[in-house]
Amino acid sequence: MSRHLKALPALGLLVLLAYLPYLPVELPGLLPGRVNGPGSMQLLAICLTMAGIALSYDVVFGRTGLLSFGHALFVAAGSYLTAIGMASLGLPLPLAALLALVGTTALALVVGGIALRVGGIAFAMVTLAFAQAASIIVLRNPGDVTGGEEGRSLDRDLMPDLLLGVNNAPYRYWLALAFVAVAWLAVAWLSRTRAGHAMAAVRENEARAAVLGFDVYRAKLIAVVVAAFLGGLGGVVHAVVLGGSNPHLTTAEFTLSLLVMVVLGGAGSRWGAVLGGFLYTYADSRLVNLSGSSLLESLPGALGNVLSQPLFVLGTFFVIVVYFAPTGLTGLGHRVLRRERVE
Amino acid sequence: MSDVVLLVVTGLGLGALYFLAASGLSLIYGLMGVLNFAHGSFMVAGAYAGWLTMTGLPDSLGVGVRMAVAIAVALAVGALIGFVVEAVLIRPLYRRHIQQVLVTVGLSLTAVAAVQGVWGSDAHPLDKPAWLAATTDLAGAEVPNDRFLFIAAALLLFGGLLALLRFTRLGLVIRAGVENRTMVEALGINVQRTFSVVFAIGGAAAGLAGLLAGVYANSVSPLQGGSMLIYAFIVVVIGGMGSLTGTAVAAVAVGLVQQLANYYAASGVGDLSVVLLLAVVLLVRPASMQGAH
C-alpha cells in the first residue's frame, strides 16, 4: 500500500505535465508566450529530454558510484545513429531508433567491458578518452557521415508528420515526457532487482560488496549498459526534438554538464536527477534572456556582463551546492521537511 | 628529410607546451589525489594576464620587453590563483576526492564564463617579437622560432622542478608525500602546508603554458584552456601520476605522435592515436594511476 502511495506525487505530476499542451495560460517571465504555445512546448521538451538523460547518468554516478566522464558518448551515439540511419541508410524513424539503441548498447558493452578493468579515477580517464575519441571522429567527419561541425539533421521525408513542424511541438513534448516516464520506471525497477542492490552495495563499499559475494564487475557493467541504453534512448529523443544531431553532444563539456545536473538535484535519487536536469537546462536557456533585463543593465559594465553568462551563474551555484548541500536540492528539501515534522 | 625535421621540432614544441600544463597537474594529483579540472582556467588566466599586460604597456617599450614582462605576469598570476584556489576551495574538502573534483569542475565552468563575460568569447590577437615569428633554417627545414622558446621554457621548468624535488627539504617532503602521505604525516611533518606550494607552482606553470599556447596560436581565447587540458590529462596519466620524469617523457611522446600521425596518416589520426595510447597504457599498466589516496 505504502509503495503505491509513494508513487502518487510522481503520477500526479505526470498527469499535470501531460495536460500542459491544453493549457492556454501565460506565465510572464517564466515561459516564452503561452504555456501551450510552440516556444514554451519546445523549451519544455528539451528540458524534459535532458532530465531523462540526467536520470540515465545517475545510474552510473549516483547509484553505482562510478565517476564516468564518457556518458556523452552514448547519448551522442543514440542521436547520431538515428540521424545517420535515416539520412544515409534511408530507414524510417522506428527502425533507425532501433538501430541506434542496439548500436549504443553494443558500444556500452565494449567500452564498459574495457574501462571497468580499472577503477576510480582511472575509470574516469579511460571513459573520457573513449568519449574524446568519438568527439574527434565526429568532428573530422569521415566519409561525410557525421557532418562535422555542422552536425547532421534528420531526413524530413522519413519523419512521421506528427513530429515535424512548429505546430506539432506538443507531440514532441509528449514524446520527451514519455521518455522521462520510461526512464523513471526503468530506474525504479532496476533499483529493486538484485543487480540494483549490488550497485548500491558497490557504491557504499566496493571491497565489502565483493566479500559479500556480489559479482562487482558484473554489477558495474550492468550499470554502465543500462545507463548507456537509457542515455542512447535520450539521444534518439534529443535528435527528434531538435531535428538532428549536434557535435556538442559528444564533448566532455556535455558529460560535465550532466554531472553538474545530477549533483545539483541530488545524486542517487530519481527526483534529484530529473529535477537537476530540468532546472539546469531551463536556467541555461532562460538566463540568456535575462542578459537584456533592466536589473543587469543597472549594474556596472563588467559585473553585468559576467552575470549574464548562464554558465557563470550555474557554475557558482554548483560550487555552493557542493559545499553546503552535498545531497543536492532534493536532499535539502528532505532536511527541511524533516525539521518541520520534528518541530 | 626537411619535413621530418620540421615535424619533429614542432612535435617537441607541442610536447613542451603539454609538459608545462601537465607537470603541475601531475604533482597535484600525485601528492593530493586531486584531479584538477580548474587547471585549464589557470591557463586561461595566465594567457589573459599576459595579453592584458602586452596591450596595457606603452608601445615604446618594444614587443620583446613587453613579452618578457607578460611572461613574468602570467607566472605570477597563475601562482596566485593556484594558491588562492587551494586555500579557499580545495582545503575545506580535505580527502573528499570526488567533491574536490566536482568543485574544480564548477570552477572551470565559472572561470571560462567569467572571461567570456568580461572580454567576449572571440579570440584576441597576441603580438609577438619579429624574431619569434621568424624561422630558422635547421637541416633544410624552416622551423618557426617560437618552438625553440617552448622547448627552452619546458627544459627550464623540468630542470628547476627536478632540482627542487631533489635538493630541497620541500622537495623531499613532496617526494615522500607522493610515495606515502599517511606515513609522512605520521612522522610529524605538515604535508598540508606543501599543498599550497604545490598548487602555486602548478598554477605558475599553467599560467606560463597558457600564455605560450597563446603565442603558438597567435591569439588568446577563453576556450583554449579546455582543449589543452584534455591532452594534459592524457600526458599525466600516460606518464604515471606524480612522476615528473614520466610526465616529461609522455609529453614528448604525445606531442611527436600527434604531429607525425596527423601529417603522415590523415588529419585527426594523430589525436585519435594519442587517445588510444592512453587506453592501452591504462589497461596494460593500471598501477600507473596510483597516487596519494
- What residue numbers bound the domain in which B73 lies? 2-118+136-289
Does A77 fall in a domain? yes
pLDDT of residue B292: 38
**pLDDT score of B291:** 43
What values do phi and psi take at B125, rounded to 5? -65, 145
Residue A153 forms part of a structural domain: yes
pLDDT confidence of residue A98: 95
Q: Which residues partner with A153 through β-bridges?
A: A244
The pLDDT of residue B293 is 39
Half-sphere exposure of B141 (CA within 13 A, CB side): 16
CB < 8 Å to B118, chain A: 302, 305-306
Contact B279 A140 (CB under 8 A): no
Query: In the structure, how many helices (H) and strands (E) does chain B have?
Result: 12, 4
How far is B193 from B224, CA to CA, in rounded Å? 31
Q: Is B129 part of a structural domain of the chain? A: no
The region, left, alpha or beta by phi > 0 then psi within -120 to 50, assigned to residue B80 is: alpha
Instruction: Provide the grid cell at A338.
Output: 524533516
State the ipTM, two decimals: 0.81
| Amino acid occupying residue A122 | A
What is the DSSP code (8-state) at residue A20?
G
Report the distance separating Cα B236 and Cα A68, nearest Å: 18
Q: What angle do CA A298, A303, A306 make, to 5 degrees?
A: 120
CATH of residue B81: 1.10.3470
* Residue A46 included in any domain: yes
Is A186 among the domain residues?
yes
pLDDT recorded at residue B90: 86
Chain B CA closest to residue A139: B268
B227-264: pLDDT as tens digits = 788 888 888 888 877 788 889 999 999 999 888 888 88
Is B264 a domain residue? yes
Size of interface A-B (CB pairs under 8 A): 118
Give ∠ CA A164-A146-B255 in degrees, rounded to 5. 145
- Picking from A140, A309, A323, the nearest residue to B113 by CB comes out as A309
Does B126 fall in a domain? no
Q: Is residue B103 part of a domain?
A: yes
Instruction: Tell me, yes or no, if B275 comes closer than 8 A to chain A by beta carbon.
Output: yes
Nearest CA in chain A to B105: A256
**Structural domains in chain A (count):** 1
Q: Does A110 touch chain B (CB under 8 A)?
A: no
Question: How many domains is chain B built from?
Answer: 1
Question: Does A288 lie at the interface with B, CB-CB under 8 angstroms?
Answer: no
CB B27 within 8 Å of CB B242: yes
pLDDT digits (tens, 9 = 90+) for B183-193: 888 888 888 88
Contact A125 B117 (CB under 8 A): no
Query: Does residue B68 fall inside a structural domain?
Result: yes
Query: Does A326 fall in a domain?
Result: no
Kindly give the pairing relationship between strand A152-153 and strand A244-245: antiparallel
**Structural domain contains residue B61:** yes
Classify residue A5: in a domain, yes or no: no
Q: What is the mean pLDDT of residues B207-214?
A: 92
Alpha helices in B92-223 (DSSP H): 97-119, 130-133, 146-167, 169-179, 181-186, 191-217
Beta strands B219-220 and B124-125 are antiparallel
Contact check, Cβ <8 Å, A136/B237: no
Rounded CA separation A73/A56 (Å): 13
- The CATH number given to whatever domain includes residue A116 is 1.10.3470.10
Query: A289 CB near a chain B CB, below 8 Å?
Result: no
Could you list the residue range(s) of the whole structural domain that residue A131 is in?
38-291
